[in-house]
Chains A and B, each alone.
Chain A
Amino acid sequence: MLIEGRRWSIALLVLCLAAPVLMAARQAPGGSGAGTRQDRPREIGATQRADLRTWDSEIGRMVREGELRLRASETDLLLGGRRHQRFDQYHRGVRVFGGEMVRQRDGVETVSVFGTAYAAIDIDTTPTLSRQDAATAASRLAGTSRGPARTPDLMVVPRDAGGFALVYRVRLVTDDDLIVYFIDAGTGHLVSSYSDLQTEIGTGTGVLGDRKKVSTTLSSGTYRAWDQMRPATVYTFDLKGDLTRTQRFLNGLITLDVSDTSASTDNTWTDPATVDAHAYTGWTFDYFYKQFGRSGLDGRNLTIKTVVHPVNRADWNKVSSSTLNLYYLNAFYAGDGIMVYGEGLPPNATVGGYKWNYFAGALDVVAHELTHGVTDYSSGLIYKNESGALNESFSDMMGASVEFYYQPVGSAYLKADYTLGEDLTTPMGGFRSMANPGAFGDPDHYSKRYLGTSDNGGVHTNSGISNHAFYLAIEGGTDRTSGLSVTGVGSAARHKIEKVFYRAFTQMLPAGATFSLARAATIQAARDLYGAGSNVEQAVTQAWTAVGVS
């Protein structure tokens, strides 16, 4: 019986011993092999099979020994089955600043290994300085203080002169900079530092009371309407109602700098003209980039300078009618990437039966003016007679298109429609209608074109002809004068018509283009982009025919 009891005991013991073994078997083993140790900082770029085997082994060893820790494993969205593993390097449990390896895997196969790994680190990782002391040392350097919510990070950093240092990394914001300090965790001395200043995003309220984001820059403790996040720098200058200075700037007699840009102490922007001018300029830049791949006004990210408050609103009834019409009730492109937005009128003042708000408050107006800049640097349509009407018309087309890109369709404020400048006035009005030019006294047919000399030969009047063609090519419908119907591409395909007109107006038309040439160029553009006989080509052809341009 004793033997029988022992058998049971052995069986039981084996069973229990097997449990941890069985469970351990579920743990995925890492790679094996010693790999090659590095003696000095080394850039790794392994793509060959033999190298990859070595680095697989080395990564496996470093992970097992705690020298590498997996920080992220990301699915490759471009190549199915691929993953990218990102490892941080550690030395005795402390992260090594800049030590990182990235391994690309295809299933279980390694495809590439890239990284920077530091070897021969042999410093103690026990700090003698407390985190608080490190924060205090950094604060002393920066001349500002840091709260307890932001804890310094203990790290190992390679020294510029060679070797390594155990440091605390401390980020501090000063009046005009954001500085990352590396404070020696033993002595409290500065090991190194760098500026980590980044552009900021503020928020503000626009002319019509809507909240927007504003791309700004913190400079000398003040947030500036200075957009550095886009490929083209955008400045919005606040001329504070100084017409003389405005005119001197526009005439090139003075230059403006960052100190002239609109400012905010807390990045919460309350000047609605600045908010809308700055935000809408960025939106328009984005539209041209995303829709057509265009890099700004000149295609090379020309700096955009926007002027708000060119005059004093309160002086509106003391100025000449020409000043009123130019700087209060107008917006214009002044060349060289400079845009000026009219001041509008004081709240209870009216002109023509309307109250007029800041001209920067209408997205289509801002896009219209910026498009003049695009035309200026592309076809250069001469601002007179038919080519001038086409110039104006192209700005209207892009103005409406930008609205449709960002705003919901509708007939209220902040809605996308085919009326230009409707958001500027109370009651809601506008300057021109692309859907029905006649509503504002503009021609919807070539036979009704203005042939006089005023307004540079009717550039703001005859634009109605090509505006209506653009509208009909998208939405379809019947021209009221000719009675001819057009089958439009539909609002869901409006981007096709936008591309056709953009292509023709910026890349195909000569400076002295006529309506007839615009017809031919847009039809050719439709063929180029969507094929001969396509519904786009047919819509464009029908639209020009309907408005009487052959």
Chain B
Amino acid sequence: MKRRCILIQACAVAVVAMAAGRVDAQTSGKWTGTAYLHVDGGVQAATPGFTSNVTFKLYGEDGTLTATYTFVNAALIAGRGGFRIWGNLGLGVGVSRFSRNGEAAISARLPHPFHFNQFRNVSGTAGLTREETMVSAELSWLLRPTRALDVMLFAGPAYFTTRQDMATLPRYTETYPFDAATFTGVESRAVNKTGVGFTAGLDLSYLINKHMGLGSLVRFSRATETFSAAPGSASSVTLGGVQASAGLRLRF
């Protein structure tokens, strides 16, 4: 998915460059407005998964739970707004938010109630939600290759607020003689973390009239934070990723 987005972005940049070359001769390329506001809906691409390991006490012995979290695409809402501060340079703020039900592969070693070192292995999957909000300060450079087309390149620091459901204990059923157990799910807790990273992207707008248009955006954001499902457990988690969105463009 990331490769596809990068490919689309590269194509877009190439097209913009070609278009800009043609337009140079017939437009000034100047941004004459004062402000912009974008409202988008789109997709947060799948992001790298991570693994958490939790140790827990059961039957007088340590058991372990390993959760491997993977994330598929998620719907997102996003918005950007800002002002022209000098020439084609603008300063603005971006916001995006998504919530997705990731699926974690769970494997656990359950101590036996009657014997040491006689573990029962159980495994399964569990749906664990991640919500992520990114707020970014963005310095933008706007190109106007034609009267109808705005090309905005932007980058800046990003602040992430993330709520991740993390597996803390396995749920299972077991019956005498307890030599095997059946996985039924996990106990989880929501871990809230914030982190600072960066964002950069490309926004293309096609203006229907002087103040309104439609546009699309591709951006890449990244931050890394450490999440802890339980005391003694730490997982390095990648936040952000590739976003693609489209929506309304307003110019003032």
On whether the beta carbons of A20 and B147 are closer than 8 Å, the reply is no
Chain A minimum-CB-distance residue to B165? A69
**A15 contacts which of B1, B8, B112 (Cβ < 8 Å)?**
B8
Take A16-B12, A86-B184 as given contacts and tell me if A69 and B216 are in contact as well, using a CB distance cutoff of 8 Å. no
Assuming the contacts A2-B26, A27-B72, A74-B183, asked whether A20 and B114 have C-beta atoms less than 8 A apart, the reply is no
Given contacts A72-B125, A72-B126, contact A19 B176 (CB under 8 A): no
Contact A26 B26, beta carbon cutoff 8 Å: no
Interface string of B76-119 (1 = CB under 8 A from A): 00000000000000000000000001010010000011111000
Would you call B149 an interface residue if the criterion is a C-beta within 8 Å of the partner chain's C-beta atoms? yes
Minimum distance in angstroms from A150 CB to a CB of chain B:
11
**Residues of A contacting B234 in the complex (Cβ-Cβ under 8 angstroms):** none
Report the bound CA distance from A501 to B214 in whole Å. Answer: 85
Contact: A4 with B204, CB < 8 Å?
Answer: no
Task: Name the distance in Å between B93's Cβ and chain A's nearest Cβ.
Answer: 21
- Which of B1, B114, B186, B245: most chain A Cβ within 10 A? B114
B75 proximity list for chain A (CB < 8 A): 24, 27
The reply on B16 being an interface residue by CB < 8 A is: yes
Are A13 and B116 neighbours in the complex by a CB distance under 8 Å? no
- Closest B residue, CB atoms, query A22: B4
Nearest CB to that of A63 among chain B residues? B101
**Which chain A residues lie closer than 8 Å to B115 at the CB level?**
213
- CA gap between A492 and B14 in the complex, in Å: 72
In this complex, what residue of B is CB-closest to A232? B176
A15 and B15 in contact (CB under 8 A), knowing A69-B127, A73-B103? yes
Name which residue of chain B comes closest to A69, CB basis: B127
- Nearest opposing residue in chain A for B59, CB measure: A201
Residues of A within 8 A of B106 (CB): 72
A271 close to chain B: CB less than 8 A: no
Instruction: Determine whether B215 belongs to the interface, using a CB cutoff of 8 Å to chain A.
Output: yes
Please name the residue on chain B nearest to A287 by beta carbon. B177
Measured between C-beta atoms, what is the minimum distance from A3 to chain B in Å? 10
Nearest CB in chain B to that of A88: its residue: B185
Partner of A23, one of B4, B26, B101, B127: B4
Contact status A5-B146, CB under 8 Å: yes
Contact status of A8 and B206, CB under 8 A, knowing A19-B244, A70-B101:
no
Q: Which of B22, B25, B185, B217 has the most CB of A within 10 A?
A: B185
Which of A15, A26, A74, A267 contacts B12 (CB under 8 A)?
A15
- Name the residue in B61, B113, B127, B206 with the highest tally of chain A Cβ atoms < 10 Å from its Cβ: B127
Q: Are A213 and B114 in contact (CB under 8 A)?
A: yes
A367 CB to closest chain B CB, in angstroms?
Answer: 15
Contacts of B244 in A (CB 8 A): 16, 19-20, 23
Q: How far is the CA of A1 from the CA of B124 in the complex (A)?
A: 61
With an 8 A cutoff between CB atoms, is B73 at the interface?
A: yes
Complex CA gap A147/B165 in Å reads: 22
Chain A residues near B179 (CB, 8 Å)? 290
Point out the residues of chain B lying under 8 angstroms from A69, CB to CB: 101, 127, 129
**Bitwise interface map of A from 1 to 37 toward B, beta carbon under 8 Å scored 1, else 0:** 1101110111111011111101110111000000000
Which residue of A13, A73, A202, A215 contacts B125 across the interface (Cβ within 8 Å)?
Answer: A73
Q: Which residues of B contact A212 (CB under 8 A)?
A: 116
Chain B residues within 8 Å of A213, by CB: 59-61, 112-116
Q: Does B23 reach chain A (CB closer than 8 Å)?
A: yes
B191 within 8 A of A: no
Given contacts A26-B1, A201-B59, contact A286 B43 (CB under 8 A): no
A270 within 8 A of B: no
Known: A23-B5, A26-B72, A72-B126. A1 touches B19 (CB 8 A): no
- Decide if A248 is an interface residue (CB 8 Å cutoff): no
Q: State how many residues of chain B have any CB contact under 8 Å with chain A.
A: 64
Residues of chain B within 8 A of A2, CB atoms compared:
26, 146-147
Choose from A9, A19, A27, A201 the contact partner of B149 (Cβ within 8 Å). A9
For the complex, count residues of A whose C-beta is within 8 A of B: 49
CA distance A1 to B27 in the complex (A): 11
B218: Cβ under 8 A from any A Cβ: yes
Q: Are B185 and A72 in contact (CB under 8 A)?
A: yes
Q: Mark A49-83, 1 if CB is under 8 A from B, else 0.
A: 00000000000000000000111111100000000
Considering only residues 175-201 of chain B, those with a C-beta below 8 Å from chain A are 176-179, 182-186, 189
Of residues A8, A211, A282, which shows the largest number of chain B Cβ atoms within 10 Å of its Cβ?
Answer: A8
| Interchain CB contact under 8 A, A24 and B43 | yes
What's the nearest-Cβ distance from chain B to residue A497, in Å? 22
Q: Are B43 and A20 in contact (CB under 8 A)?
A: yes
Interface residues in B1-43 (C-beta closer than 8 Å to A): 1, 4-5, 8, 11-12, 15-16, 18-19, 22-23, 25-26, 41-43
Tell me the nearest residue of chain B to A204, going by C-beta.
B60
* A72-B185, A201-B59 known; A19+B114 contact, CB < 8 A: no
Known: A27-B72, A74-B184. A12 touches B26 (CB 8 A): no
Q: Among the interface residues A13, A86, A212, which one has the most CB atoms of the partner chain B within 10 A? A: A13
Q: Does B204 lie within 8 Å of A12, measured CB to CB? A: yes
Q: Is the CB of A27 within 8 A of B214?
A: no
**Bound Cα distance A289, B175 (Å):** 13
> What residues on A are CB-neighbors of B171 within 8 Å?
72
Given contacts A12-B12, A19-B244, A215 and B114 within 8 Å (CB-CB): yes
**Interfacial chain B residues near A229, Cβ < 8 Å:** 113-114, 176, 178
A289 to B178, CA, bound (A): 12
B114, A9: Cβ atoms under 8 Å? no
Instruction: Return chain A residues, CB-CB under 8 Å to B189.
Output: 151
Q: B45: CB under 8 A from chain A? A: yes
CB distance B149 to A12 under 8 Å?
Answer: yes
**Chain B residues close to A by CB (< 8 Å):** 1, 4-5, 8, 11-12, 15-16, 18-19, 22-23, 25-26, 41-43, 45, 59-61, 72-75, 101, 103, 106, 112-116, 124-127, 129, 145-149, 171, 176-179, 182-186, 189, 204, 206, 214-218, 244-246
Shortest Cβ-Cβ A-B pairs, 8 listed: A16-B216, A70-B127, A72-B185, A9-B149, A5-B146, A201-B59, A8-B19, A23-B43
Other 8 A-B pairs with CB < 8 A, given A9-B146, A19-B216: A12-B149, A15-B8, A16-B12, A27-B74, A71-B186, A72-B183, A213-B61, A289-B176
17 contacts between A and B (CB under 8 A): A1-B26, A5-B23, A9-B146, A11-B15, A12-B16, A13-B204, A15-B15, A17-B246, A23-B43, A69-B127, A70-B101, A70-B103, A70-B126, A71-B185, A72-B125, A73-B126, A290-B179
